[in-house]
Structure 1
Amino acid sequence: EILRRLDRHEAQLVKLREDMNRLREDMNRLREDMNRGFKRYDEELVRLREDMNKLREDMNKGFRRYDEELARLREDMNEGFQLLRRHIDALGARWGLLAEESFRAGMVGVVERYFGGRVERWTHYDEEGFVFGFPSLVEVDMVISDEEHILVEIKSSVSRADVYEFWKVGQLYERIRGVKPRLAIVSPFVREEAKKLAKELGIDVYTSL
């Protein structure tokens, strides 16, 4: 009886050992399968990272090409604007002279009626360069009314530099003629800084007559 029991226990132990071995084998296969799965995952992750890096490189190359093309376009536009500006400046210089003379011619009659005298052109060659700093011909419109000498600057627009230049002309006139003239600027557009300087120098400014 004891031997039968021992044999039965032995058989159970053998079966248990076999079950343990099978379980171990199953665990090993599962581990191998998991390792292969992780390996595939790692490989896929590496490929994905490589693809992302390649995409980043392609995008960077694309952005560089875009930046270069944009820079070339900006240069072309700047060159075009500079060329257009030169043409406009050249045209403006030619048209400005004509427009200035046309404006002056149109305003002469108005000035004569306003100041009550005939507009004449006073010219003097400034040998010592008193007005401009170098010898030059000085010209200015003049009205003599009731023995008052009025120098009139008729311009379509007046800047601060124009005001100072006109004031120097008035000083030159006083030195040459011995008469202190009244100074008047007639213009539809006088810059604010020009108005301020004219007031400081005692020059009358008329933006409408």
Structure 2
Amino acid sequence: MSIETAELRARLLKLLEEDIEFRYAVAGLIGLGEILKRLDRHEEELKRIWEEIARLREDMNRGFERHDIELAKLREDFNRAIQLFEKRFEEIDKRFEAVEERLDNMNARLGRVERTLEKLTLDIEEEARSIIRYRLRNELGIDIELKSLHLPDMEINIYGCRDDICIVGEASVRASANILEELLDKVKDLRKRYPDKLRQKTILVIYTSLALPELVEKAEKHNIWVLKATGDYYKPDFSRILS
């Protein structure tokens, strides 16, 4: 290939690259003009498509950014809610522990009160049996051993029998008219269910440290002996009971 031909080819290639009209002219000569025009249109269409894709990608990126921001805000709100819940739960747990401690203290106090009441009840029952026996022996000449009576369906604090005389009574630190009614009901049940536990002559007695006024009033009506360690609230006419 001569130098002139090589130079001509180089100039032609350069024209084809730089001069679109020359390129179409050459393409028309060789029958490729229409193809090149279609390729140019496709190239422009592809360019528009890529531009649209770029805009869509930007919109998607902005959407993702908004989504990330909203998600981060939701996560932050959720974390605050969890922290608040944990704080409230800790407060509730502390209050519950305080309530449990108070309940334990109350149970301990109630236990002590129950033990004290039980001791007082036992003490006053023992005291009642001792005082009543002493006074029966010294004032009436009746010596009867007193104890508690336990039956399947009832319990009597003060009970004792000898010959044809029976003592039936109740002991309480504080006594109202209710204890008198209970005593009368127990005597009634004894007559009905356990007649062998009673005798012809029955002395009913209530021993208490504090007798309420209504108890004393009813005791007078039913001829029931009501007393304490230092004296009598009401003392019936024993001659009528023992005659």
TM-score, normalised to structure 2's length? 0.44
TM-score, normalised to structure 1's length? 0.49
Q: Which has the higher contact order (CA 8 A, sep 6+)?
A: 1
Q: Which has the larger radius of gyration?
A: 2
